[in-house]
Amino acid sequence: MTVSTDPSAFLLRHVGILRASFHHWTGKSLLDDNLDDASALIALAGAPFSLVSHGIGAEPVFNYANQLALQLFEMSWEEFTALPSRLSAEAPNQAERARLLEEVTRQGYIDNYCGIRIAKSGRRFMIRDATIWNLLTPEGEYYGQAALIRQWEML
C-alpha cells in the first residue's frame, strides 16, 4: 500500500474512514450519505459539533480536528495534530480516559460519554453526549479512534 504525503489526500481518505467507521459501529450516518468525501470534508470542518480523532501506537497523537474542536481546545491545526491525545485530559482524569478508550476498543463504540477536558489556556470544559468509536480502514484494519462531541460546557 502506498501512503500519500499530500495532506488533502490524507484528509479525503480520513473523512471516508470516519464516516464508514461511524456507520459500521452505530448504524447511523455522521453526515448526509449523499455527500461525496470532498463535500463531507467541507461539511465536517464547519459542523455544529466537535469531531476529533487520533491514530494508533503506544502514544496516539491527534490526527484530525474540525473547526469547533480547534476552538474548544484553543489550538491551531498544527498544535492539535502534534498533541498526544491523552494530554486532552488533565493528569487526574487520564486514568479514566484510558479505561474508557479500552472499553471502546473492546466494544467498538460507546454513546453518551461525559468527561472533563482541558484547553491550551488551562480552561476546563465538560463534554457531554459524546460518541467515541474505533476507526477501521476499508481493509478492516484498526486505524485509531474518533470522538463526536455534541454538547459541552465551559467550567
- Asked if residue 55 lies in contact with residue 66, where contact means CB atoms within 8 angstroms, the answer is no
If 0-12 CB within 10 Å is exposed, 13-18 middle and 19+ buried, where does residue 141 land? exposed
pTM of the model: 0.90
Residue-wise pLDDT for 107-122, tens only, equals 999 998 888 999 999 9
Any idea what DSSP says for residue 101? H
| Mean pLDDT, the chain, integer | 91
Is residue 115 within 8 Å of residue 155, measured between CB atoms? no
Enumerate the domain spans of the chain. Answer: 7-154
Architecture per CATH, domain 7-154, reads as 2-Layer Sandwich (3.30)
Q: How confident is the model at residue 6 (pLDDT cuts 50, 70, 90)?
A: low
